[in-house]
Amino acid sequence: MTHKERPEGQILVIFGASGDLTKRKLIPSLFHLYRSNKLPKHFAVLGIGRSSYTNDEYRAYLTNELSTFGDIKDADQKAISSFINMFNYLVMDPSDMNEYPKLKVVLEELSTTNNINENYLYYLATPPALYKKIPLGLKEVGLNKDNGVKGKKRIIIEKPFGYNLKTAVSLNHTLMSAFKEDQIFRIDHYLGKETVLNVMALRFANGIFEPLWNRNYIDHIEITAVENIGIESRAGFYDEVGALRDMVQNHLIQLVAIAALEPPIKFDADNFRNEVVKVYNALRPLDKEDVLKNVVRGQYVASGMHESYREMKGVKKDSRTETYVAMKLFIDNWRWEGVPFYIRTGKQLPTKVSEIVVHFKQTPHMMFKGDKNERVYNKLIIRIQPNEGVLMRIAMKTPGSGYEVKDVSLDFTYDKLGGVPTGDAYARLIEDCMKGESTLFTRSDAVEASWKYFDTIIKEWEDNPMIPLYGYPAGTWGPLEADKLMNKGFTWTNPCKNLTNTDLYCEL
């Protein structure tokens, strides 16, 4: 199947159809696919929720939300109406097993009306508490059975994929009691970002990089994903989860895997995901001493106009939930032995940025002096957001007499491709789901391998209340203790506060 082929006719069933994820992400992404002619020719959406809507009321609600969260500035009203008319609504409690026969009847009616061969894609845009109940409810009425050409069934699960290793294993067991692995799509929007995918193209499509991509030439790698906002309306969820579960165990460790994996034999679902799992299995196991020495957690406190995390509505007044995590980890294999990977995430930091920074080793003998008599290190910066691009920091001689060198940039940003858009990550992944293309989705063994590694940290934090939770003022770069993770002579790469889409490199 080529990327340009449209998916076959199907019905998208959204559980949690009046929720935040649906209005903010799913509806705008579906509209993007609609305007790009990437939706199936025969297509319908069935929204499911407890809120009481008729079809017309739900469509009116979606029209209003699309105007708020969607890109409709140059869309005509006819296109918007045509898109919205694809949506239907069913009042249903997904936790009630007695409700699923009603769902089956409605889906069969929609299949007949829209000339769709009972191909159903279920999207669980619900609280994680329903991740087990919905698959079992679908199984109860036979809506899980993949009948090939007579009706394909697929299911999309949002993170978190479990709360720890035990719950992740339990969730996988439940999912796979109702669906086969190739029917299950564990979605993580980070893997749909164009720049994340470009890391592999950068490595494997350029002869200049891959020979250097190992312990012989790379000193260390930083991976950062931070935000300059707090938890907003997510207090109830976030205070039970924290930064480690929300970001590190999934987003950041996936970026580690993409930066570190071996070249797949070919770029398809099995081979790519096999290499990801190999990276997870090669992570050096942590013990109690490692958790104390190589993991720093923090929680933001009041500063200036910003209130503290504990003052947020819905947060426990004595909460020890971390809003910041930094850690040093190692991958014990031939390519990466001895190379530290530094990862960090946090809320209420100076700017919003996600990037991978590859620090190459110094030249064996430095003949030239750099600015301020400092030695120059080559850096490769892969910016994932906000201004997607790739930049290389190299040493060049400064004009004039003498032989002093200066750190300068060779850079590329996506806006230099003549206006070619970087795309919508959710739209890309939803389209892949519709086509049954699972390459960019997390497999069950990867989920469990990741949790196995991070469970040690979670257990130590739960069992040992003496492990510090460092406060850091909102608007700063996190606890100062995180700086001590770095090997001597290095500091974190901290981008400037006011990053714009035209500034790829800006460092404090």
Which residue type sits at 16?
A: G
Nearest-angstrom CA–CA distance, 379 and 361: 9
Nearest-angstrom CA–CA distance, 297 and 289: 15
Contact indicator for 58, 47 with CB cutoff of 8 Å: yes
Half-sphere exposure of residue 299, counting CA atoms within 13 Å on the CB side?
19
Taking the CB of residue 136, how many other CB atoms lie within 10 A of it? 15
Taking the CB of residue 381, how many other CB atoms lie within 10 A of it? 22
Nearest-angstrom CA–CA distance, 30 and 87: 11
What single-letter DSSP state applies at residue 129?
G
Q: Of 251, 306, 359, 365, which one is the catalytic site residue? A: 251
Residue found under tokens 């099995």: 270
Secondary structure of residue 375 in the 3-state scheme: coil
User: Closest by alpha carbon to 315, among 260, 212, 234?
Assistant: 234
Contact indicator for 347, 230 with CB cutoff of 8 Å: yes
At 258, give phi and psi (nearest 5°): -65, -40
Q: Dihedral through CA 235, CA 240, CA 244, CA 247, nearest 10? A: -50
Contacts with 345 (C-beta within 8 Å, 6 or more apart), sequence order: 224, 225, 226, 243, 247, 248, 251, 252, 324, 325
Nearest-angstrom CA–CA distance, 464 and 322: 15
In the 3-class helix/strand/coil scheme, how is 395-439 assigned residue by residue?
A: EEECCCCCCEEEEEEEEEEHHHHCCCCCCCHHHHHHHHHHHCCCC
Active site residue 173: no
Q: Catalytic residue positions?
A: 251
